[in-house]
Amino acid sequence: MKTKKALFIGGIKSGKSLNAEIYTLKHSLQKPIYLATTEFIDDEMQKRIEAHKLQRDAQFETLEEPLKLYEPISKQKSAVLVECLSMWINNMLYHGFGFAEMKKELEAVLALDKTVVFVLNDVGCGIIPDNALAREFIDISGKLSQLIASSCDEVYHTIAGISTRIK
């Protein structure tokens, strides 16, 4: 099976994660890797994480890594689902990393000859936030989404549980 890169982008609770999971399972010859990027921040986030774990059940091998993408992905033999890049960007900003470091990390991942599926929140349809950190997050997310989409074989926009291929 030829390696592929795919991006599932959409709003929060649009169904992109579930559709990305189905896609990853379909494009993996063996049990795929679920690279979970979310850090345990509070009780509400813990509940969201538990819901995602139940959704994917035992169909994936889970790796939890909030900051490094290239290193764990480069070691895998099966398809990798990165869930999600929005939380990864959040983590990177929180830990003091900037756009240049994020771009370098993603470019290295995109250059790998591996099947990698990315999930990313579409934050470009809202208003300009009133604080600098939120504006920085949106700017970085938008620039990185363009980088990823241009390098992916397939891009899907998800709304109301329906993923439509746009590339």
d(CA 87, CA 66): 8
**27 is a catalytic site residue:** no
* CB 5 within 8 Å of CB 151: yes
β-sheet with 162-165: strand ranges across: 61-64, 33-36, 80-83, 116-121, 5-10, 154-159, 162-165
* CB 86 within 8 Å of CB 51: no
- Give Cβ neighbours of residue 71 (< 8 Å, ≥ 6 apart): none
* Catalytic position from the list 27, 52, 95, 157: 52
Backbone angles phi, psi at 123, to 5 degrees: -110, 10
DSSP one-letter string for 128-155:
PPSSHHHHHHHHHHHHHHHHHHHH-SEE
Which stretches does DSSP call E strand in 26-145?
Answer: 33-36, 61-64, 80-83, 116-121
Looking at the annotation, which residues are catalytic? 52
